[in-house]
A and B are shown apart, each in its own frame.
Chain A
Amino acid sequence: MSFEPKILGIACNWCTYTGADLAGTTRLQYPQNIRMVRVMCSSRINPSFIFKAFQLGADGVLVGGCHPGDCHYNTGNLYARRRLAVTKKILEFSGMEPGRFRVEWISASEGNKFAEVVSEFTEQIRNLGPQTKFKIEE
């Protein structure tokens, strides 16, 4: 059987999640490997969510937020940018493939960008293969 990546998407309510909706309502095609979770803001994302997702078997994690400067709460994503940059470095130094975690700024009107990013990221994870390092053995 060919490998179908399991990808967790965490998107903020005001931009990326709405952008994902737009991609859906305009019937853009993108891979169905992503499962979206909506949070109110990218700064709501506790870095442990990401570690946990990998432990529970995610092959990749994609975080989406408003473009810097456009956060609904003004500064949320500016904090998130710093925090998630640290998360990325920690994953990398722990030995996780850096390509499995990605942060993108996607606005509510960028349905296209959402579809593109998801397609590209899915392809990248497909190439990386199953994530086994953090995954908890049953």
Chain B
Amino acid sequence: MATSFKQIEENLKNEARKLLEDQKVSLVLAYGRGYDENHPVPFVAKVAADVENIVFNEYCTANMARYLVRYPRGTKMAIAVKPADSRAVVQLIQEDKVKREDLILLGIPVIGMKNSKTGEAIDGKTTCGLYNPVLYDVLLGEEIHGQPVDSPYDVLAQYEAMDKDERFAFWKKEFDKCIRCYACRKACPMCYCDPCFIDQNKPKWGDKSPQSHGNLMYHLTRFHHLAGRCIDCGECSRACPVDIPLYLFHKKVARECEEMFGQAAGNSIQDKPVLVNFRVDDSDKILE
């Protein structure tokens, strides 16, 4: 049986309180109440009294790993991590953005998360679909086993089957909707560049106004920069105000990277990100 959200919330509060009281960490990254129950917001507890504001329920989808890089190096932090979030932390450790020894991971096994905008269940169609964190120090609920395990890439089949013109038309229509609010980049734990390439003026990679060509440049390059790094949390797509299914493209690139380089993002802190690595015997076939 999966631990109830209420119980997880209780456990999260207790752990957070203990860590802050014992001064093991200077902050705890978790979730707090938004304008109502169904819209929790990212929340940082800094003193034990803050802990009362922590919540956890099926709408706590935000990936809190997003906030780790905001604090100075060496800050001791605890972070609530759902399965995909834990992969983001692993990936950030691989990229030397945070140090393992500075973190306490409060792992949360999840099932039955929901998209607060649509109310739809969140599963392997829009995320990596794992039930248990890949890395944690404390587990706040019982591990979940015996649930159906679908490949996170199954959803791609229908898009891969499209012919290229059809697929181009599909993406053009989607990218043309983009209003360039950059919520996708803000929500993403792996988008930490400052400045982002699209904000640069010299060289200017793409137009900043929301028009086809600048949008195309922004998105294709962003997919590229996330290649082998995106951990498939799906937050970018949930953050998008115009519902562009960015996750599809990210999944496609992730799958290709896995097939070509034999490694998925955010699985082990021993790994090196695939694009800053190589093997002398990588095959030229990957270029075909």
Contacts and interface: CB of A to CB of B under 8 A. Distances in A.
B168 A94 contact: yes
B242 interface: no
Nearest to B286: A85
B223 A52 contact: no
Contacts of A96: 164, 168
B278 interface: yes
B252 A79 contact: no
A95 B279 CA distance: 29
Contact of B260 (A68, A85, A134): A85
B252 A82 contact: no
Contacts, number: 98
B275 A79 contact: yes
Interface string A90-127: 10111111100011010000000000000000000000
A86 B257 contact: yes
B166, B276, B282, B287: residue with the most chain A Cβ atoms closer than 10 Å: B287
B205 interface: yes
Nearest to A91: B220
B278 A94 contact: no
Interface residues of A, number: 33
Nearest to B259: A89
Given A48-B217, A87-B224, A90-B223, A82 B167 contact: no
A94 B167 contact: yes
A89 B252 contact: yes
A84 interface: yes
Given A90-B253, A95-B171, A136-B213, A48 B221 contact: yes
A44 interface: no
Given A48-B221, A94-B171, A136-B213, A82 B253 contact: no
B50 interface: no
A6 interface: no
User: DSSP majority for the B interface?
Assistant: helix
A52 B205 contact: yes
Contacts of A93: 159-160, 167, 249, 252-253
A47 B221 contact: yes
Contacts of B249: 90, 93-94
Interface string B270-288: 0000111111101010110
Contact of B275 (A75, A83, A97): A83
Given A69-B280, A79-B278, A96-B164, A88 B216 contact: no
A78 B276 CA distance: 10
A89 B282 contact: no
A95 B278 contact: no
Interface in A35-93: 47-48, 51-52, 55, 68-69, 75, 78-79, 81-90, 92-93
B282 A78 contact: yes
Given A48-B205, A86-B257, A133-B168, A94 B282 contact: no
Contacts of B228: 86
A89 B160 CA distance: 12
Contacts of A134: 213, 216
A79 B156 CA distance: 27
Contacts of A85: 260, 286-287
Give 7 nearest A-B pairs by CB, closest first: A95-B168, A78-B278, A85-B286, A95-B167, A89-B256, A86-B227, A136-B213
Given A48-B217, A95-B165, A95-B171, 7 more contacts: A51-B216, A75-B278, A82-B282, A89-B252, A89-B253, A90-B227, A136-B213
18 contacts: A47-B224, A51-B217, A52-B205, A68-B282, A78-B279, A79-B275, A81-B284, A82-B277, A83-B275, A86-B257, A87-B224, A89-B256, A93-B249, A93-B253, A94-B249, A95-B167, A105-B284, A134-B213
